[in-house]
Amino acid sequence: QRAPRRKMTEEEILMLKRKNAVAESFGYFFDEDGKVVYKIPRVGLQLKDIRDIPYIFAVAGGKSKAKAIRAYMENAPQQTWLITDEAAANEILRGVTL
């Protein structure tokens, strides 16, 4: 969903689909396992830039965003706090035993 907003070419969008990209953050596209599958150049903050920020708040919600949230959190700095809703949380935790 983010690819069209990033003014990416049709070729790039097809490549992201082939690589099973499910999330984008700071110009990095991730697959379901959190593996970086593509990176686009950006102006502004980069993923590496937030590593030294003491508190990071990631906000996302909705069941449809669960794969994207999980993928990003695989790469998020340890000091990241996730703020989400019950639908996304339940989907993320599905199959996880405590």
Interval 72-94: pLDDT, tens: 998 899 999 999 999 999 999 98
Q: Which residue has the tokens 């097809």?
A: 14
What are 9's two structure tokens?
A: 């070419």
Q: Are 71 and 33 in contact (CB under 8 A)?
A: yes
Interval 30-82: pLDDT, tens: 999 999 999 988 777 888 888 899 999 999 999 999 999 999 998 899 999 99
Q: What's the residue count for the chain?
A: 98
Write the DSSP symbol of residue 54.
Answer: S
Q: Which domains does the chain have, with CATH numbers?
A: 2-93 (3.40.50.1360)
